Structure 1
Amino acid sequence: MAQVKSTNKDAYTLILEAIDVGVFKPGDRLVESDLAERFGVSRTPIREALQRLETQSLLARDGRSLIVSSLDHNQMAELYVVRTELEGLAARLAARHATNEEVRVLQDMVDADHKLVDDPSALARSNRRFHKQIHLASHNRYLVQQLDLVHRSMALMATTSIAAEGRGTDTLIEHQKIVDAIAARDEEGAYNALRDHISQAFVTRLKQESDG
């Protein structure tokens, strides 16, 4: 069935989630009428959602059409600079504010992800959930909002760094270091562990870009 009816999510959220999970990829053309049919909503909220996404630079103009944006090298580098600092801050605050239950959830995520090492797509989705949990554990709503914006832009990258050979295993090792530091209430250690993790992911992406 082509139509995806949802009464709980608005058009903006539906399109944004489709971009985030890779249903719509960088360069894909988004047609108002097709989206209205797909999501089972009228064209007016779809039009408003597309305008909003264009304002946020998640969509770009290609003649009279709107396409999912892509990031050039400089944009990707700028995004990683911001992401590294904000993620590091989230880890620092998580080490300070996370409840014992939140730490347990993070550890359970790492433990469960060992089964996904050979499935890059599933591990990438789990990786997003892991980072989101750290954001929430920071207990700072404004930081969470900014990181949500950063991660929306991350969806504009055509591939995931986790898909690189050996990156899945390295990712889990790095995640464990982050969780260990948060559990130990080591704010500086958590900050550095998460910054190092993002830095390694960036290096992997640069190599993917050069190989491409």
Structure 2
Amino acid sequence: MRASDVAYEQLRAEIIDWVLEPGAPLGEIETAERVGVSRTPVREALARLSAEGLVVYEGRYARVAPLSRDRITELYELREALETQAARLAARRRDPERFERLLEEFELGPDAAPSDGRPYFLSGELDAAIDEAVGSRYLRAALDDLRGQMARIRHHSSADPVRLVEATREHVQIVRAILAGDEFLAVHATAVHLHNSRVNVETHLSFDDSVDSSA
């Protein structure tokens, strides 16, 4: 693996897991020393993370992208536009066997110990199944760029076990709609899930709107 890929993967994971919190500075020299690579790979990694919206620049200086209410609103508006369209196309082009297996998994419900990551793994599996069913490289690329930002938000805000149960039920409705080939219901179920997800985020995240000069 190239040094720039190593730096990218480590920094991306640290941002998503909140090891590097919103607004944290990302000086090239300090970051290179910590990651164990030279400044050039770090510079390349930061450029990739900036393209994903996980890093912002103020002049020549990089920092972890802040999270303000305006930024959350913009992300969810984009997510709704992309994911409802993806659900519509998945309902039209689905592989029934794959979604039937997913439905069986989701209907088991989240594990008693949410820390094992099962609900989030299944959510990722659903994303992958929908991406494959849609078959659009452009829509998938747009969703991939967005998912890093959403993973960062979800990691911090979705530990509520009640929300895990609700989200699992919502995913069941999405999968059932796709299996039925019901495009309207797939879009509606996805929109409901995203609305509830946004409410959960706004309940659990603390915002410092004053630091988000890029929003």
**Aligned with 1:71: secondary structure?**
coil
> Is structure 2 residue 94 aligned with structure 1 residue 98?
yes
Equivalent residue number for residue 181 of structure 2: 185
1:101-153 CA deviation, whole Å, 9 max, x = no partner? 321342254246522x5425725632344334323332221111111122223
Q: Equivalent of 1:45, from 41, 63, 66? A: 41
Measured in 1, the distance between the counterparts of 2:180 and 2:97 equals 14
Which range is displaced more, 151-160 or 85-94? 151-160
Q: How many residues align?
A: 206
The aligned counterpart of 1:3 is none
Structure 1 residue 171: Cα displacement: 0.5
CA contact (8 A) 2:23 2:66 kept: yes
Query: If the length of structure 1 is used for normalisation, what is the TM-score?
Result: 0.78
Question: Which residue of 115, 119, 125 corresponds with 2:120?
Answer: 125
Query: What is the distance in 2 between the residues matched to 1:104 and 1:189?
Result: 17
- Superposed, 1:30-179 pairs within 5 Å as 30-37=26-33, 39-54=35-50, 56-61=52-57, 65-111=61-107, 114-115=110-111, 118-119=113-114, 122=117, 125-126=120-121, 127-157=123-153, 160-164=156-160, 166-179=162-175
Q: Identical aligned pairs, as a percentage? A: 34
Normalising by structure 2, what TM-score?
0.77
Q: What stretches of structure 2 of length at least 5 have no aligned partner?
A: 209-215
AA in 1 matched with 2:117: A
Deviations 1:16-73 (A, max 9, x none): 2432344433233334345445555433111222234335542234787532111211
Q: Residue type matched to 1:205 in 2?
A: V
Secondary structure of 1:163 counterpart = coil
In the alignment, the residues of structure 2 paired with residue 37 and residue 20 of structure 1 have an alpha-carbon distance, to the nearest angstrom, of 21
Deviations 1:60-97 (CA, angstroms, capped at 9, x unpaired) = 34787532111211121121111112111111111111
List runs of 5+ in structure 1 lacking aligned partners: 1-5
| 8 Å CA contact retained: 2:154, 2:201 | no
Residues 105 and 141 from structure 1, CA distance in 2 versus in 1: closer, same or farther, beyond 3 angstroms? farther
